Structure 1
Amino acid sequence: MSESVDVVLIGGGVMSATLGTLLKELQPDWKIVVFERLGDVAQESSNPWNNAGTGHSALCELNYMPNADDPSKAIAINEQFQVSRQLWSSLIDRGILDEASTFINATPHMTFVTGEKDVAYLRQRYETLRKEPLFAGIEYSEDSRVIHQWAPLLMKKRRKGEPFAATRVPAGTDVDFGAITHQLFDHLTENGAEMRLNHEVKKLTKKNDGSWDIRYRNRVGGAPGSMNARFVFVGAGGWAIKLLQSAKIPEIKGYGVFPIGGQFLKTSDPAIVKQHQAKVYSQAAVGAPPMSVPHLDTRMVDGEGSLMFGPFATFSPKFLKTGSWFDIVQQVRFSNILSMLKVGATNLSLVKYLVGELMKSRARKVDSLRDFMPTADGADWELIQAGQRAQVMKGGKLQFGTEVVSSTDGTIAGLLGASPGASTTVSIMIDLLSRCFPERIGGWERTLRELIPTLGTSLNDDPERAAEVTGTSADKLGVLA
């Protein structure tokens, strides 16, 4: 007979870790089991070397504001990141997360562009954002001396006469989502949750009573097993679509995903790292997906500083770095094949971009780095493979973002998509709780507001409150407000 539990979390990433932590605070009596197919958690998208760790808050990412006069999406993403900051601050107070410096560090966020068209755009973007409370600290300059003070490596030996401009927000952050994931899961297992590593979920079947039968296999030895759960969350990155299709919920019909990989150039040379303390984003190439916006990033992982530049798009049919070569084919259903074909036919610029990226030699990738850092020496940089991102395909369109798919009865939910992903995890999981537990969310509200004081309100609409809340979380996290 199958063991019965309250909650099964599939996937050992920051999404499952965050949802599990929230549920443990809200329902400490519930039994939670986590299935992770690899030998440790945070080995795919949550791993610090598989993402940029930007702490996406739209301070520097131009793709969140394609229209320089419309800040609505940028504000929404910043609001979501403030929710994450508030929860992390509360979890430090409760001893659930370790000292803030183990997972978050102050790192200015910058945008740097060249050419008259992009300079004009960035100038207008600055004029729009500087009026918004959550972007109050933004700075703008077209002066090479000022930009050199902000980020020397951008300006050394740069061609004269080239139009350029930059914005800078000192209150940016670098976040190690792998560290957050490990710390949250450590707390969960210390408080009764069960972690099953090297266990791969193979099939999900709904029973007549509304619960779910989970069939799994131990990847060490191959022993099969089963478990029954009242609620299932599939937070398995690109693998999620396979499991949601296995569950045969009608809500997954029509969905497909397109995998895009990435590589970064990385250096840990202290002499180079100390000259660049910022995350600097620019404009994406024509046809490039938003996740491929070029950026030169300061990273802090396990106490060591590094710089990463990229990403350079790669292609693999796998939905995870450790996935199957048949992933992209196995997702095909009658309900999604026409939508997927339409995506291919209407995204020829993306196809052209990917082909160009795949043909880039290492030398050409270093040349791209020199567009940011004119003095770059390829011998100082190594090429590393980043994570796989499964972009959502739905209704004949390729969507860039994250999307929760849940059953009508709220007994199962999963997450599809990519950026801004990890940075907005808390808001995504709060939304999931509201969807899947409508009869309980009212009773949970008091605890949720203890964890996230501004839950359900807009900080950007209240400048004084915005300053107070960002200042409080900044003090707790050891970053700038």
Structure 2
Amino acid sequence: MLPAEKRYQEMNNRQKKTEVILVGAGVMSATVGTLLNKLEPHWHITLFEKLDKAGNESSNEWNNAGTGHAALCELNYTTVKQDGSMNISKAVEINEQFQVSRQLWSYLVDENQIRDPQAFIRPLPHISFVHGEDNVKFLKKRFEALSNHPLFEGMEYSEDLETLKEWIPLMMEGRTSKEPIAATKVASGTDVNFGELTRKMLANLENQNNVDIYYNHRVDDIKRIADNSWEVKVRNFEDDMLEYHTANFVFIGAGGGALPLLQRTGIPESKHVGGFPISGEFLICDNPEIVDQHHAKVYGKEPEGAPPMTVPHLDSRHIAGKNILLYGPFAGFTPKFLKAGSYMDLLGSVEPNNIFTMLAAGAKNMSLIKYLAQQLLMSKEQRMKELRNFVPNAKNKDWDTLVAGQRVQVLEDTETGGKGTLQFGTELISSKDNTMAALLGESPGASTSVSIALDVIKTCFPEYLEEWETKIKEMIPSYGESLAENPELFHKVHHSSSCTLGLVEKNKKMTLH
């Protein structure tokens, strides 16, 4: 047999049929896979990841701030309406979605599917901090709007210096400015290690029947074949072989790598969509004398004209058994769509159908481009100057630079925004026949991963929803209900998940503060 014929036969032998293919071993694929495995345990699920382990890109604990996004402290989720009132709808939506995530995680812990929840979620106060008369007025108005809402009970507000010294001693030490300052605090916030959560969920999935997870396997192409299923071309780096797998349903949860793969599917929904990569950088401190003085996630107000994802924050983190502080983010740039991606990613994503979309986005967002250029030119001393708005006594020797994960901002043509609209947040794109779905975008994706996964299920498997409803409610008791409109249910599921996840003592009276 000739070498070429032998190789073709080997490739042919590696053609495999499966019900579901998941691309990427991040928190999204882990969540979609977990739900589908629970709902249809006889379905065969295959997951491909080009790296050698789970949760090593966008979900990795070093590549995101670990905020359990519940809008407790993130000021960009509340905006002032034209009439001067506060719009809290986005904050309520994000909070509800995080509660949904907590419920699934709690279910998995209760079922002994994942263990030691303290390894991936810890209690940590969430604080909003502002300075300047206008920002203080904004924060007070935000507090008044949110604190009366059931989902934000327990929120405290203070302009008192002594109180602030108790809440954020590191940030108050050496503060000499006379401008007004204020803060809100929610004691029931969390710090989430999404990398560890992802690894636990995928380790559990790997132990289930009918689930195969392959690392060091890169998906190179996805195309429709004659029987209307999907053929996925995979490069197996371990054996240096090409493999062809077919599936009835494909979910692309590959972080920044999702856009190029979505484009290769050729579905109409992938047209007129582009992406612009932005990398994040943080200042990091591991000096125990400094780290031990700060125990909170503190979010400020984004600078004038800056995009929402640039909100400055000072985070307590617990990673690899060690407490650290992160401050940022500062924007960086590389044409890669993933940290382990290619310098040709951006150029390769430009196609005839999206080139005008991307050009229009550039023309519309000159202020963002200018902001990015300014960020790229910042020296460490300039970054330290920004840090000193939060930590007045910060010294250069105590802080180093950490390059975090890659994020790809979605650019698309929309009815409301027109051509080249820059989309913040995450977006689910699916084929008309519901056999293909991809998640694009960035924060708060990981925190709201369960709600996104439920959207995948509702969108792509509508014919199964009635049959699956009982099981979904077993995993997520609030499924189909509005927690915002049902405070009693909210208190119940919040307290239950807090106990199961080790965020409060199980015999402690139910409270949010």
| TM-score bracket, shorter-length normalisation | over 0.9
Distance 1:4 1:288 in 2: 48
AA aligned opposite 1:289: P
Q: Deviations over 1:132-152 (max 9, x none)?
A: 000011111111110110010
Q: What is the CA-CA distance between 1:298 and the residue it aligns to?
A: 0.7
- The residue number in structure 2 matching 1:403 is 427
* 1:235 is the counterpart of 2:259: no
Q: Deviations over 1:113-170 (max 9, x none)?
A: 1111111101100010011000011111111110110010111111241211101000
Contact 1:286 1:349 in 2 (8 A): no
What secondary structure is seen at the aligned counterpart in 1 of 2:446?
Answer: helix
Q: What is the CA-CA distance between 1:459 and the residue it aligns to?
A: 0.9
- The residue number in structure 2 matching 1:147 is 164
Q: What is the CA-CA distance between 1:289 and the residue it aligns to?
A: 2.4
Contact 2:478 2:489 in 1 (8 A): no
- The residue number in structure 2 matching 1:451 is 475
Q: What is the CA-CA distance between 1:220 and the residue it aligns to?
A: 4.0
Which range moved further: 466-475 or 318-327?
466-475
- The residue number in structure 2 matching 1:341 is 359
> Within 5 A, what are the aligned runs for 1:271-290?
271-290=289-308
> Within 5 A, what are the aligned runs for 1:28-427?
28-67=41-80, 69-192=86-209, 193-220=211-238, 222-395=240-413, 396-427=420-451
Distance 1:221 1:349 in 2: 48
Q: What is the CA-CA distance between 1:451 and the residue it aligns to?
A: 0.3
Cα gap change, 1:466 to 1:402, in 2 (>3 Å): same
Distance 1:216 1:27 in 2: 25
Q: Which has the larger radius of gyration?
A: 2
AA aligned opposite 1:159: T
Q: Runs of at least 4 residues of structure 1 off by over 3 A?
A: none
TM-score computed with the length of structure 1 as normaliser: 0.98
Contact 2:126 2:296 in 1 (8 A): yes
TM-score computed with the length of structure 2 as normaliser: 0.92
Distance 2:385 2:135 in 1: 20
What secondary structure is seen at the aligned counterpart in 2 of 1:440?
Answer: helix
Q: Which runs of 5+ in 1 are unaligned?
A: none
Contact 2:79 2:88 in 1 (8 A): no
AA aligned opposite 2:170: L
Contact 1:241 1:331 in 2 (8 A): yes
Q: Deviations over 1:307-365 (max 9, x none)?
A: 11001100111100111111111111222111111110111110111011000011111
Q: What is the CA-CA distance between 1:221 and the residue it aligns to?
A: 5.1
What secondary structure is seen at the aligned counterpart in 2 of 1:153?
Answer: helix
AA aligned opposite 2:495: G
Contact 1:62 1:282 in 2 (8 A): yes
Q: What is the CA-CA distance between 1:59 and the residue it aligns to?
A: 0.5
Contact 2:260 2:349 in 1 (8 A): yes
AA aligned opposite 2:52: G
Q: Deviations over 1:166-217 (max 9, x none)?
A: 0100010000000110001101111132111111111111112221111111
What secondary structure is seen at the aligned counterpart in 2 of 1:79?
Answer: helix
AA aligned opposite 1:107: L
Q: What is the CA-CA distance between 1:260 and the residue it aligns to?
A: 0.6
Distance 2:246 2:469 in 1: 28
Which range moved further: 471-480 or 112-121?
471-480
- The residue number in structure 1 matching 2:5 is none
CA-based RMSD: 1.1
AA aligned opposite 2:128: T
- The residue number in structure 2 matching 1:440 is 464
Q: What is the CA-CA distance between 1:243 and the residue it aligns to?
A: 0.7
Q: Which runs of 5+ in 2 are unaligned?
A: 1-11, 414-419, 505-511
Which range moved further: 465-474 or 3-12?
465-474
Q: Deviations over 1:36-86 (max 9, x none)?
A: 011111111100010001000000101111226111010000000000011
Contact 1:287 1:352 in 2 (8 A): no
Q: What is the CA-CA distance between 1:288 and the residue it aligns to?
A: 2.5
